[in-house]
């Protein structure tokens, strides 16, 4: 399993019930912790990891040569954006290099990392062949990850999984692998369909979040409650799916995947205007929120002590990738506010430690963890602005 983050370690933990798993990661510190049975991922208990280690079913390594005896190699590495917000396949390329340089016999290579259609066929396969010293006909397949950190009702066993191989034999081998620990597998006609489906799943979410974020601004301008309006609309039993407004989108998927879809669309001459605009709307929410906070405080935040409550990208996880809190903090500081942050789950971020939940002039709630008492949030400052809809008695969207 190449990559031992949220996806790779999760799959490793489920696969270890049926296979001997080698978890490869370049982060030596993470590897050392994993081999001690210490999990760094919410939802994967250290006790489960320890169980598989003691049974000889799991080991972590930072040495590529340790994967040479594997019969199945799963790529589960990040696919972020570059600094100019373009698809970045450098982690996949590094994984391909590890595979190409260390495997000397045909194996099943499965990509779980999210990327644009054609990545398996036109990037991964040629890259592995390029890095290999001899011509080896591996079996190539795709099965896009479906991991929702912090969620307990859906896991790798009961979440439907898509898959497709470059050849019928690769598809069959992929089915045999995942069927050991996943109850429902759906084969699609090509890897490109599976890759596109994954991108569309998260683009669907981003677009609808953007829609409800824009609607929240409309509702405020009209003087009506966005939450009551959404609840009212949700009484319709068909043709409606409820989304709620927020400070923006975060994490390793929703802010990133639509850009991969837009990039490949534009490369092929197809429009992606709607997708691009949805991303802009979500990014603009942070500035809108700061304008609202400033307007409620005399139009001037200069010198105000502002506490941002919750910097994780979603409740009950420590993941801060692409968190909306970062833009909120930037806009607050650009207005002269003296900003600190509090997050009981994250603890340390960007070289700063979580501040106490009190003593501020203004509190802005970006993420509400279940462990945080809303009464303490309300008592943390004379003015509290809640972007989550979960703190009753606070000002909000």
Structural tokens at position 136: 């080896």
What phi-psi label fits residue 303: left (phi over 0), alpha (psi between -120 and 50 degrees) or beta?
Answer: left
Strand, coil or helix: 275: helix
Question: How far apart are alpha carbons 379 and 383 in whole angstroms?
Answer: 9
Within 223-318, residue ranges assigned H as helices are: 226-233, 257-267, 273-296
- Fill in the DSSP letter of residue 153: S
Choice among 70, 96, 182, 253 that is catalytic: 253
Tokens representing 370 are 């279940």
Q: Is the dihedral of CA 346, 205, 249, 295 positive or negative?
A: negative
- The structure tokens 């994250």 sit at 346
Give the whole-angstrom CA distance, residue 91 versus residue 281.
Answer: 29
Which run of H or E residues covers position 211? helix 191-222
Contact yes or no for 307/363 (Cβ under 8 A): yes
Give the separation between CA 140 and CA 165, rounded to whole angstroms: 6
| R_g of the chain, CA atoms, integer Å | 23
- For residue 2, the 8-state DSSP code is B
Residues 162/199, Cβ–Cβ less than 8 Å: no
User: Known catalytic residue: 253?
Assistant: yes
Sign for the CA dihedral angle at 136, 139, 144, 149 comes to negative
Active site residues: 253
């Amino acid at each position: 399993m190449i990559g031992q983050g949220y996806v790779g370690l999760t799959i490793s933990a489920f696969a270890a019930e049926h296979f001997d798993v080698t978890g490869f990661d370049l982060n030596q510190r993470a590897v050392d912790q994993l081999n001690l049975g210490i999990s760094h991922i919410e939802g994967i208990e250290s006790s489960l990891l320890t169980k598989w280690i003691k049974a000889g079913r799991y080991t972590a390594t930072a040495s590529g040569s340790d994967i040479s005896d594997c019969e199945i190699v799963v790529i589960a590495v990040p696919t972020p954006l570059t600094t100019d917000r373009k698809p970045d396949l450098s982690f996949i390329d590094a994984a391909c290099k590890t595979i190409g340089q260390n495997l000397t016999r045909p194996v099943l290579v499965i990509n779980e990392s999210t990327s644009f259609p054609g990545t398996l066929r036109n990037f991964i396969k040629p890259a592995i062949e390029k890095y290999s010293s001899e011509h080896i006909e591996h079996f190539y397949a795709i099965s896009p990850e479906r991991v929702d950190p912090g969620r307990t009702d859906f896991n790798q066993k009961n979440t439907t999984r898509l898959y497709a191989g470059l050849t019928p034999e690769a598809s069959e081998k992929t089915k045999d692998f995942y069927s050991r620990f996943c109850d429902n597998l759906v084969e699609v006609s090509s890897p490109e369909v599976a890759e596109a489906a994954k991108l569309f799943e998260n683009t669907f979410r981003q677009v609808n979040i953007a829609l409800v974020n824009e609607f929240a601004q409309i509702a405020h301008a009209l003087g009506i409650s966005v939450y009551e309006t959404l609840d009212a609309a949700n009484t319709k039993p068909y043709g409606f799916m409820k989304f709620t407004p927020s400070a923006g989108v975060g994490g390793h998927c929703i802010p990133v995947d639509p850009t991969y879809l837009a990039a490949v669309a534009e490369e092929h001459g197809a429009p992606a205007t709607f997708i691009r605009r949805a991303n802009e709307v979500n990014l603009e929410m942070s500035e809108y929120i700061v304008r609202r906070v400033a307007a409620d405080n005399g139009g001037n935040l200069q010198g105000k002590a502002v506490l941002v409550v919750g910097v994780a990208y979603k409740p009950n996880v420590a993941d801060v990738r692409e968190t909306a809190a970062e833009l909120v903090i930037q806009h607050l500081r650009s207005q002269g506010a003296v900003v600190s942050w509090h997050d009981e789950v994250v603890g340390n971020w960007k070289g700063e430690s979580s501040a106490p939940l009190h003593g501020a002039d203004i509190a802005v709630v970006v993420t509400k963890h279940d462990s945080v008492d809303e009464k303490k949030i309300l008592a943390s400052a004379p003015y509290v602005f809640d972007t989550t809809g979960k703190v009753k008695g606070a000002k909000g969207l």
